[in-house]
Amino acid sequence: MKRLAILASGQGTNMEAILNAIERGQVAGQVVLVLSDRAEAPALQRARARGIKSLWIDPSLYPDRAAYDRALLQELNAAAVELVILAGFMRLLSPVLIEAFPHRIMNIHPSLLPAFPGKDGVKQALAHGVKVTGCTVHFVDEGLDSGPVILQEAVPVIQEDTVETLHQRIHAAEYRIYPRAVDLYCRGKIIVEGRRCRIID
């Protein structure tokens, strides 16, 4: 069983989807640590309710991103974490973490990357009038939502969609593909070849 950590800033609904999949035996890993940059993040409460070690690490105590990431890294290493999962973590990672976990940090983004990276991917998709958008699980690199793509799921855009209704359907897709991507990693089924991820049987 791979040892997993989740970094979250908000509700932790993607975290919950992963934890539920682990309980159903659909992910060959165990979440051993949840870290947040917000003391009141509901994700911390969700994790504590399941008996998972959960810590708030206060960014205001550190002079810059690198110093903060070193504090995160210390906790991740102490827990012998093998894969870091970002679940609504609202801070950009510095090279400190990315270099410590090459192709071992996952993120999910609410668009079909490389389209609409960064903030407000759903709003961007609606503004551009696309007929199909979706979500992407990718490895994190030093660019903005630019790491190798692991899995994607398309979500049709309905003419009457608002940001909220479209986001809701994208969330449903996220809850399907994020646990699947984590399981693929845990079972050694992802091979990174340059910019591409190859899924092996």
Q: Which of 103, 109, 138, 167 is catalytic?
A: 109
| Amino acid found at 80 | A
DSSP state of 172: H
Q: What's the CA gap between 96 and 115, in Å, rounded?
A: 27
H/E element, 138? strand 132-139
Burial of 130 (0-12, 13-18, 19+ CB in 10 A): middle
Q: What's the CA gap between 187 and 199, in Å, rounded?
A: 11
CB 106 within 8 A of CB 137: yes
CB 14 within 8 A of CB 108: yes
Q: Is 109 a catalytic residue?
A: yes
What residues act catalytically? Answer: 109
